[in-house]
């Protein structure tokens, strides 16, 4: 009796013993593949908007995790055939279990994408607020979000307390605008949470303008000025 028929006879009408392990591992793999998911989403964003709810990497995650699980239990049959869930699901009552897991993964996938979209909106709003707050010589302070920065050939400062020495660095409003936008975008590529700005001393006791993320799993930190 091959592996397929052994499974059919052993677990017919019951919940397969691998369900919870497989489900949890699929969810973990999907969450750990967030960068891959978002990169794929950005590449296919237009088609996704035309077909909302369509999964992006769910099938890949299920296939990869089943292959890993199968390597640990040689008795498990193949899960994915040329047409997807075929070899196992066409003859076994595990079909409903697999569909249930697939639906859960699709829900997690959509949650990640929705959070990404919200943060994309935040990024655009932030950039727009900076642009709107600019005149010929000023940018809204990223620390207090209230006052215009004083930008000259020697320093960048704000009445809220921000002060960064920029002598001999050719920092203009356009350069600073680009630095702020690029750092925010860089952070958003891998993290969906909002970054914060701060000032900290460097090795020569002058100050740097920093952008960072307080989320433990991200821990992003970069120097703006």
Backbone φ and ψ of 151, nearest 5°: -120, 120
pLDDT tens, position by position, 77-93? 666 555 455 555 444 55
Q: To the nearest whole number, what is the mean pLDDT of the chain? A: 78
pLDDT single digits (tens) 26-71: 999 988 888 888 888 888 766 555 555 567 888 889 888 888 888 8
- Sequence ranges of the domains in the chain: 3-124, 133-223
Instruction: Look at residue 98 and tell me whether its pLDDT is greater than 50.
Output: yes
Mean pLDDT of 198-217: 83
Token readout for 33 is 């593949």
Q: What is the pLDDT of residue 25?
A: 92
Q: What is the pLDDT averaged over residues 126-135?
A: 60
For a pLDDT cut of 90, what percent of the chain falls above it? Answer: 5
pLDDT exceeds 60 at position 5: no
- Of 76 and 176, which is predicted with more confidence? 176
Question: What does the pLDDT average to over 202-222?
Answer: 82
What pLDDT, on the 0 to 100 scale, is given for residue 82?
52
């Amino acid at each position: 009796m091959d592996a397929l028929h052994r499974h059919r006879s052993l677990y017919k009408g019951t919940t397969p013993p691998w369900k919870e392990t497989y489900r949890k591992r699929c969810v973990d793999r999907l969450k750990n593949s967030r960068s891959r998911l978002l990169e794929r989403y950005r590449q296919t964003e237009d088609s996704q908007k035309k077909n909302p709810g369509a999964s992006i990497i769910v099938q890949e995650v299920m296939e990869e995790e089943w292959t890993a699980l199968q390597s640990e239990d040689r008795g498990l049959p193949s899960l994915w055939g040329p047409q997807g869930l075929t070899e196992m699901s066409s003859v076994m009552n595990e079909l409903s279990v697999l569909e249930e897991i697939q639906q859960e993964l699709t829900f997690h996938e959509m949650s990640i994408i929705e959070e990404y979209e919200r943060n994309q909106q935040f990024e655009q709003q932030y950039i727009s607020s900076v642009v709107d707050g600019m005149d010929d010589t000023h940018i809204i302070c990223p620390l207090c979000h209230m006052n215009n920065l004083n930008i000259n050939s020697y320093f960048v400062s704000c009445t809220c307390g921000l002060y960064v020495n920029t002598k001999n660095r050719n920092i203009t409003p356009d350069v600073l605008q680009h630095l702020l936008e690029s750092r925010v975008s860089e952070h958003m590529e891998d993290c969906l949470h909002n970054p914060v700005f701060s000032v900290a001393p460097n090795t020569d006791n002058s100050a740097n303008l920093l952008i960072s993320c307080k989320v433990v799993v991200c821990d992003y930190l970069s120097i703006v000025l």
